[in-house]
Structure 1
Amino acid sequence: MNNSEVTYLFDPLCGWCYGATRMLGRLSAAGVRVELLPTGLFSGAGARPMDEGFAAHAWANDQRIERLTGQSFTPAYRHNVLNVRGTLLDSHAATLGITAAGLEDPSRRFAALKTIQHARYVEGRDVVTIGGVAEVLAADGMADAAEMLKAPTETLLAAHRDQVGRGRALFQRLHADGVPSLAVIRNDAPRLIGSNALFGSFDNLVAHIAAA
């Protein structure tokens, strides 16, 4: 698998993307270079209020994801995130934080994504505000990214726009039906790997990548 490359389309507040994180880690450990591209699914016009109906829908999905992947969705998450009204499901701050973490070293994007997901789904912490994301990143050794997030430079904002723009463009080009999505790009020709492959066996996922 060495020298293989895949592009991962995601949103940091997507439960299914959290479910796929372990498989992504296994790909990286096997020598696959994984480029993360956010699609901004739950930011901008995609942000939505955390009302009772959506919270119930999310929790039902989360239980299914936990059974399928072993990723934990804790009571703290349900109580402090899903059951709090008046908040938004808005991934802008989390996505910008991931961009900040990887601005100088793109390999840190995955670490930042995992940190943010763990904070939300396991610890039940706020990752929808700039202050909340900055606190989470700083606590996990990414104080530089936290400070950048609180006072974003034009360089950071431009990098963020570029990543989300490329993520959305690739998503549309692939005619993907949601995130997470995985693509193999060879000779400027992207091929979509069905998201189901991220939730099956590792060997099956590797075979899909090799065949793409």
Structure 2
Amino acid sequence: MTIRLHYVHDPLCGWCYAAAPLVAAAMAQPDVELVLHGGGLFPQPMQLPAAKRAYIREADARIAQMTGQVFGPAYLDGLLPDPAFTLYSLPPIAAILAAEELRAGAGPEMLKAIQSAHYVEGRRVIEAEVLVAIASGLGLDGGAFASALPRQPVEAHLVDTRQLMTRFGLGGFPGFVRERAGEWRVVPHGVFYGQPAAFVESLRAG
């Protein structure tokens, strides 16, 4: 019986990066279908004060310890401390939607690639040319992707995501909801950071 795993995420959310191994483990299962719902953690371009960047650095260190996820020097020593560092969720969410439009199933690939570009390589993933380069690295046609990027219905997508979050009482990112045989339930995930196999087991429970 197929499990549809609805994943409420944001490409620039550190705890979503922490959950990436859980998502990868779920996607490796032949009976699990992943459905992405971008949430817009940073709906407007935001430059962070030094105190907020220090807070993020502490959270990133905790994530690395809990999950083994890599935060590269280009991010930790280059992008994060830069006063001009800007967070803006809409461009990378548009990129995920554009990737899915061009190739079915490419949305999760694009999310993973954006997270790696941001947290490992320290690239500015809110910039269109960077997103085009990432898409090209996934084998998507760069020109077609560049054309698809600005026409994505990001605002409508965010509204749908927020409605899903309200329906199931999800207060932030990440969030997981299992749909199976017409029944829906929230899947707790916080206890499974660093335990992908246990997370997969939890999808099939109940």
Fold match, TM over 0.5? yes
- Structure 2 stretches of 5 or more lacking a match? none
Superposition deviation, residue 134 in structure 1? 1.7
The whole-number CA distance in structure 2 between the counterparts of 1:137 and 1:24 is 20
Q: 1:153 to 1:26 in 2, by over 3 A?
A: closer
Offset of residue 195 of structure 1: 2.8
Secondary structure class of the residue paired with 1:102: helix
Given that residues 50 and 84 in structure 1 are in contact (C-alpha distance below 8 angstroms), is that contact kept between their aligned partners in structure 2? no
| Equivalent residue number for residue 180 of structure 1 | 174
Give the counterpart of 1:102 among 81, 97, 100: 100
TM-score by length of 2: 0.88
RMSD between superposed Cα atoms in Å:
2.2
Percent of matched pairs sharing the same residue? 27
Deviations 1:20-50 (A, max 9, x none): 1112111111221111110111223xx4213
Cross-structure match for 2:116:
118
Q: Please give the alpha-carbon distance, in whole angstroms, between the structure 1 residues aligned to 2:138 and 2:197.
A: 32
Q: Alpha carbons of 1:205 and 1:4: their partners in 2 closer, same or farther (altered >3 Å)?
A: same
How far apart are the structure 1 equivalents of 2:121 and 2:194? 26
Give the letter for the 2:60 counterpart: D
1:20 paired residue number: 19
- The one-character-per-residue Cα deviations of 1:118-168 (angstroms, maximum 9, x if unpaired) are 1111111110222222222223322x3x434533477x423x344322211
Q: State the Cα distance separating 1:87 from its structure 2 match.
A: 3.3
Match of 2:37 in 1: 37
Matches within 5 A, 1:45-60: 47-60=45-58
The higher-RCO structure (CA 8 Å, 6+ apart) is 2
Contact 2:98-2:149 at 8 Å conserved across structures = no
Q: Look up the equivalent residue of 1:135 and give its one-letter code.
A: A
Q: Does 1:5 pair with 2:4?
A: yes
Question: Retained in 1: the 8 A contact 2:48–2:83?
Answer: yes
Distance in 2 (alpha carbons) for counterparts of 1:192 and 1:58: 27
Structure 2 residue 193 is the aligned partner of structure 1 residue 193: no
CA distance change for structure 1 residues 37 and 65 in 2, over 3 Å: closer, same or farther? same
Deviates more, 1:186-195 or 1:128-137: 186-195
Unaligned runs of 5+ in 1: none
The equivalences for 1:149-168 within 5 A come to 149-152=145-148, 156-158=151-153, 160-168=154-162
Structure 1 residue 76 displacement after superposition: 0.9
